[in-house]
């Protein structure tokens, strides 16, 4: 059992703590600001977790803000999926749902102020020309020929931009900062562009739209954000963030803090590629259980608790790191161990006939849903009879050393039932084992006085006639590349794991699973954790493997 421990320290938490202690802030207000232009993935989950749990930890609040300042890329359909995903992760923004689009008038007013201050100007350069004037990483930029227009002219032109007098791309409003700055973000960045486009929220009210750097800091300020947490790639934007707020002299000046995003080995998180994988049919959709999207991992059966646990365990730093998948798997098993009913399911069935068991007889055996150490109770009856299925892997005609499952002449315990002994092996014309004939020892039934007779191995099974035919889907990582996002040259499609999806169409599950519900999670004993998938029908349930159990035998084999 794990005891509650104090939340781990991290540098952001320390900053917040100090700000509270010093009186800089009385409370904490954070925000999660997704752009509604796609589906959230596990990388976003860390940001969600960080912002919400940080606020929570100090009795503050976290806003959900749609960062929707680009009408060309965003769509209302994503707003709903984002909200659903955040909720699923277990976080609640209450009434604090905001949209940058609702601040368009504020952004505009601030821009006018900037112009009046002489800190912004309308520039007539084309996009290509702006690029030329900007200079390079090593050479300073040159001032735009329009940089020194009068305040009056700028105001007039900017109003003209707003009123739709100019074509898309013909002019921009730019901040007047420093064309020679070694930080390219400060070389008179554009703050407004002309886009005669319909906005999913603001409709056709505007034909000029603000840029991220400009809109984001003002949004934060308007909402009274105390700590504006973002990922590392915005580090070079922080001077700009501060410049806008300082220059505009806004009363609230949040502190931008950057952290490194969550990256998992063998997992692709690039938005463009994820979209490509969906549209090209490489995966079945945004919610394909192999996808790292929140929708995908939800369908895969991952629990929100385990995702939060992972975020907490890997911590918050500025070092760019690739987390091993085993870490995630461990979080999953740790969570599921205390939640999932233990049941029996045979993935790859092999028929077993008990030659000395009465034909037509079915016994109902008691089967607890949890092992003792989990501390949870409840049980069901499992039918036992003359014909059973066991796992193909649990029988070997010519086993290696230390194999203690079923083998010719050998004994094994059927979990929660009897000890059986293999008497005969039946093969087809190709020499494959198709049936095993065994005798059972009637004195050894679990729960009876004879249960204490020991044999080396215990295997799982289902009774043939009452078992439920099912499809089971096994998943592995989608890519064979440890860092698929880092692929420099070459096509990521060349590194698809051929075993990322294995469908087992003829699995057999114990009777009790016939009445399970979509979304219910179970441990199929000795195999792993599974969730009932939405593709299930009345006749044929479909189960997704969430994560396998650790396999000490496989490890042993590897060493040999």
Partner RNA sequence: UGCCCAGUAGCCAAGUGGUAAGGCAACGGUCUCUGAAUCCGUCAUUCGUAGGUUCGAUCCCUACCUGGGCAGCCA
For the bound state, the minimum distance from the C-beta of residue 256 to RNA, rounded and expressed in Å, comes to 12
| Nearer to RNA among residue 16 and residue 283 (C-beta) | 16
| Residue 61-90 contact track with RNA, rule CB under 7 A, x = bound | ------x-xx-xx-----------------
Does residue 283 interact with RNA by CB under 7 A?
Answer: no
Span of 109-117, 349-357, 493-501, 544-552 interacting with RNA by CB under 7 A: 544-552
Task: Restricting to residues 83-122, name those near RNA by CB under 7 A.
Answer: none
Does residue 376 interact with RNA by CB under 7 A?
Answer: no
For the bound state, the minimum distance from the C-beta of residue 429 to RNA, rounded and expressed in Å, comes to 29
Question: Using CB under 7 A, which of 88, 108, 146, 322 touches RNA?
Answer: 322
| Nearer to RNA among residue 255 and residue 299 (C-beta) | 255
What phi and psi values does residue 212 have, to the nearest 5 degrees? -50, -55
Separation in Å, CA 396 to CA 214, 421, 526: 68, 13, 17
Q: Can you tell me the distance from the alpha carbon of 23 to that of 458, in angstroms, rounded to the nearest whole number?
A: 62
For the bound state, the minimum distance from the C-beta of residue 294 to RNA, rounded and expressed in Å, comes to 17
Q: What is the DSSP string of 2-55?
A: PPP-PPPP-HHHHHHHHHHHHTS-SS-EEEE---SSS--BHHHHHHHHHHHHHH
Separation in Å, CA 446 to CA 177, 386, 443, 475: 80, 17, 9, 34
Does residue 313 interact with RNA by CB under 7 A?
Answer: yes
Does residue 321 interact with RNA by CB under 7 A?
Answer: yes
For residue 236, list its beta bridge partners. none
Question: Using CB under 7 A, which of 22, 95, 249, 319 touches RNA?
Answer: 319
Name the nearest CA neighbour of 95 among 52, 68, 63. 63
Task: Restricting to residues 25-64, name those near RNA by CB under 7 A.
Answer: 33, 35
For the bound state, the minimum distance from the C-beta of residue 441 to RNA, rounded and expressed in Å, comes to 11
CB neighbour burial string for 74-108, b if at least 16 within 10 angstroms, e if fewer:
beeebbebbbebbebbebebeeeebbbbebbebbb
Does residue 180 interact with RNA by CB under 7 A?
Answer: no
Task: Restricting to residues 237-256, name those near RNA by CB under 7 A.
Answer: 237
- Region at 470 (left for phi over 0; alpha for psi -120 to 50; beta for the rest): beta
Q: Can you tell me the distance from the alpha carbon of 555 to that of 177, in angstroms, rounded to the nearest whole number?
A: 61
Question: Using CB under 7 A, which of 411, 477, 525, 533 touches RNA?
Answer: 525
Does residue 436 interact with RNA by CB under 7 A?
Answer: no
Q: Can you tell me the distance from the alpha carbon of 277 to that of 293, in angstroms, rounded to the nearest whole number?
A: 12
Task: Restricting to residues 391-430, name those near RNA by CB under 7 A.
Answer: 402-405, 413, 415-417
What tokens were used for 10? Answer: 């991290």
Does residue 234 interact with RNA by CB under 7 A?
Answer: yes
| Nearer to RNA among residue 335 and residue 533 (C-beta) | 335
Spatial contact of 362 and 430, defined as CB atoms under 8 Å apart: no
For the bound state, the minimum distance from the C-beta of residue 369 to RNA, rounded and expressed in Å, comes to 9
For the bound state, the minimum distance from the C-beta of residue 390 to RNA, rounded and expressed in Å, comes to 12
Task: Restricting to residues 378-397, name those near RNA by CB under 7 A.
Answer: none
Task: Restricting to residues 443-482, name those near RNA by CB under 7 A.
Answer: 444-447, 451, 454, 457-460
Task: Restricting to residues 194-213, name those near RNA by CB under 7 A.
Answer: 194, 209, 211-213
For the bound state, the minimum distance from the C-beta of residue 537 to RNA, rounded and expressed in Å, comes to 27
Does residue 6 interact with RNA by CB under 7 A?
Answer: no
For the bound state, the minimum distance from the C-beta of residue 557 to RNA, rounded and expressed in Å, comes to 9
Q: Can you tell me the distance from the alpha carbon of 225 to that of 117, in angstroms, rounded to the nearest whole number?
A: 25
Tokens 């396999």 sit on residue: 551
Does residue 136 interact with RNA by CB under 7 A?
Answer: yes
Q: Can you tell me the distance from the alpha carbon of 244 to that of 213, in angstroms, rounded to the nearest whole number?
A: 9
| Nearer to RNA among residue 9 and residue 151 (C-beta) | 9
Question: Using CB under 7 A, which of 27, 105, 236, 499 touches RNA?
Answer: 236
What tokens were used for 57? Answer: 């930890």
**Sign of the dihedral through C-alpha 102, 108, 114, 120:** positive
Does residue 326 interact with RNA by CB under 7 A?
Answer: yes
For the bound state, the minimum distance from the C-beta of residue 194 to RNA, rounded and expressed in Å, comes to 6
Q: Can you tell me the distance from the alpha carbon of 461 to that of 388, in angstroms, rounded to the nearest whole number?
A: 7
| Nearer to RNA among residue 226 and residue 444 (C-beta) | 444
- What is the distance in angstroms between the CA of the first residue and the CA of the last residue of the chain? 34
Does residue 145 interact with RNA by CB under 7 A?
Answer: no
Span of 22-30, 296-304, 473-481, 550-558 interacting with RNA by CB under 7 A: 550-558
Name the nearest CA neighbour of 147 among 130, 163, 166. 130
Does residue 355 interact with RNA by CB under 7 A?
Answer: no
């Amino acid at each position: 059992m794990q005891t509650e421990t104090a939340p781990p320290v991290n540098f952001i938490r320390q900053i917040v703590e100090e700000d509270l202690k010093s009186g800089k802030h009385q409370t904490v207000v954070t925000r999660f600001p997704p752009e509604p232009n796609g589906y959230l993935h596990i990388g976003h989950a860390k940001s969600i977790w960080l912002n919400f749990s940080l606020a929570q930890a100090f009795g503050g609040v976290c806003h959900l803000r749609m960062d929707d300042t680009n009408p060309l890329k965003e769509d209302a359909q994503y707003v709903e999926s984002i909200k659903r995903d955040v909720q699923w992760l277990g976080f609640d923004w209450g009434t604090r749902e905001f949209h940058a689009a609702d601040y368009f008038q504020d952004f505009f007013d601030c821009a006018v102020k900037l112009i009046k201050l002489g800190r912004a100007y309308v520039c007539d350069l084309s996009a290509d020309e702006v690029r030329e004037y900007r200079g390079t990483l090593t050479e300073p930029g040159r001032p735009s020929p329009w940089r020194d227009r009068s305040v009056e002219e700028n105001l007039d032109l900017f109003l003209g931009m707003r009123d739709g007098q100019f074509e898309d791309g013909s002019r921009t409003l730019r901040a007047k900062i420093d064309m020679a700055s070694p930080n390219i973000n400060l070389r008179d960045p554009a703050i407004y562009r002309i886009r005669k486009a319909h906005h999913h929220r603001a409709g056709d009210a505007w034909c000029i739209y603000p840029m991220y750097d400009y809109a984001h800091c003002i949004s934060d300020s308007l909402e009274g954000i105390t700590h504006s947490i973002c990922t590392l790639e915005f580090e070079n934007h922080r001077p700009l963030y501060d410049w806008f707020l300082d220059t505009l002299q806004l009363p609230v000046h949040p502190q931008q803090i950057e952290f490194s995003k969550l990256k998992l080995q063998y997992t692709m998180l690039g938005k463009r590629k994820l979209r490509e994988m969906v549209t090209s049919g490489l995966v079945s959709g945004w919610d394909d259980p192999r996808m790292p999207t929140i929708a995908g991992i939800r369908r895969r059966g991952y629990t929100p608790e385990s995702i939060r646990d992972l975020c907490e365990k890997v911590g918050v730093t500025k070092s760019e790191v690739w987390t091993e998948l085993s870490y995630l798997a461990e979080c999953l098993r740790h969570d599921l161990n205390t939640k999932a009913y233990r049941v029996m399911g045979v993935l790859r069935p092999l028929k077993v006939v008990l030659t000395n068991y009465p034909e037509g007889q079915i016994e109902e055996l008691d089967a607890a849903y949890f092992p003792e150490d989990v501390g949870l109770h409840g049980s069901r009856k499992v039918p036992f009879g003359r014909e059973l299925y066991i796992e193909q892997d649990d029988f070997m005609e010519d086993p290696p050393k230390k194999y203690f499952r079923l083998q010719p002449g050998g004994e094994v315990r059927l979990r929660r039932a009897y000890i059986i002994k293999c008497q005969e092996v039946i093969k087809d014309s190709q020499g494959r084992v198709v049936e095993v004939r065994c005798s059972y020892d009637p004195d050894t039934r679990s729960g009876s006085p004879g249960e204490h007779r020991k044999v080396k191995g215990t295997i799982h099974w289902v009774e043939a006639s009452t078992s439920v035919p099912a499809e089971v889907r096994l998943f592995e990582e989608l890519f064979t590349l440890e860092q698929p996002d880092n692929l420099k040259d070459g096509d990521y499609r060349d590194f698809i794991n051929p075993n990322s999806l294995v469908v087992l169409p003829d699995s057999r599950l114990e009777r009790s699973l016939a009445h399970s519900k979509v979304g219910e999670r179970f441990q199929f004993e000795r195999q792993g954790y599974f969730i009932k998938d939405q593709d299930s029908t009345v006749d044929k349930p479909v189960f997704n493997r969430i994560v396998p159990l650790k396999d000490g035998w496989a490890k042993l084999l590897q060493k040999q």
